[in-house]
Amino acid sequence: MEPRVTSEGLGSRREALIEQIRAETGIDEPMIARLVDAFYGKVRADPLLGPVFDARISDWEPHLAQMRLFWSSVALMSGVYHGRPMPKHLPLPVDATHFDRWLELFEQTAREVCPPAAADHFIERARRIAESLELGIAGAHGVLLGKGERYVRQPEARRSPG
Ligand code: HEM
């Protein structure tokens, strides 16, 4: 008979996996906090991305706190983030240009703030998530992207109303 997978078993395997990632990359909560804070500092100062965030976030501390939890869940599989990012991005006035800039700033920050193995770990995940958000946003506008295709808005759609 197959051994039963108990929640205890899953728990300790998850802990072992987190330990392995921590050991191989050096990622821990303080590093995540430094990455998140430095990255959103750049984002807020960026002429393309800054206004998109400014229009929606007035109190930055709760957003930064959520983003630290998010990156802990993504990078260390800690399970501490319980939000749903996709619905928050679907209404944003963004396309491939914004995602390219987001990734450029994220990669720049990760290289500045983290040792190489940790930076690689964050960047790989950021790229995958950015791709899926871009796919989702395109889909919400009735555009089905093929493999490798990017979402480029028509100029009319990019103009903000009013
Ligand atoms: C075009 C690029 C992006 C823009 C302009 C953008 C903008 C935003 C904004 C304005 C919010 C706040 C929404 C709200 O609270 O109503 C948000 C939330 C969030 N973003 Fe992005 N985002 C971008 C890409 C990404 C990427 C690539 C990731 C992940 C790798 C990400 C992760 C998140 C998460 C997890 C939240 C939700 C936090 C929560 O649960 O409150 N975003 N984003």
Query: pLDDT tens for residues 45-84?
Result: 999 999 999 999 999 999 999 999 999 999 999 999 999 9
Ligand 1 atom closest to the CA of 63, numbered from 1: 41
Q: For residue 141, report the distance from its CA to the centre of ligand 1, in Å.
A: 18
Handedness of CA 105, 49, 76, 148 (dihedral sign): negative
Q: What are phi and psi of 141, to 5 degrees?
A: -105, 20
pLDDT (tens digit, 9 = 90+) per residue, 102-119?
999 999 999 999 999 999
Candidate from 59, 89, 109 with most ligand 1 atoms within 8 A of CB, to mutate: 89
Structure tokens at 1: 């008979």
For domain 27-158, which CATH number applies: 3.30.300.30, 3.90.1580.10, 1.10.490.10, 1.10.20.140?
Answer: 1.10.490.10
Distance of CA 103 to the CA centre of its chain: 9
What is the share, in percent, of the chain residues with pLDDT greater than 70? 90
CB 71 within 8 A of CB 25: no
Candidate from 57, 105, 133 with most ligand 1 atoms within 8 A of CB, to mutate: 133
Q: Measure the CA–CA gap between 134 and 148, rounded to whole angstroms.
A: 11
Structure tokens at 87: 């619905």
pTM listed for this prediction: 0.91
pLDDT at 13: 86
pLDDT (tens digit, 9 = 90+) per residue, 4-19?
655 556 678 888 988 9
Burial tier of 144 (Cβ tally within 10 Å: 0-12, 13-18, 19+): exposed
Q: What is the CA radius of gyration of the chain?
A: 18
pLDDT at 12: 87
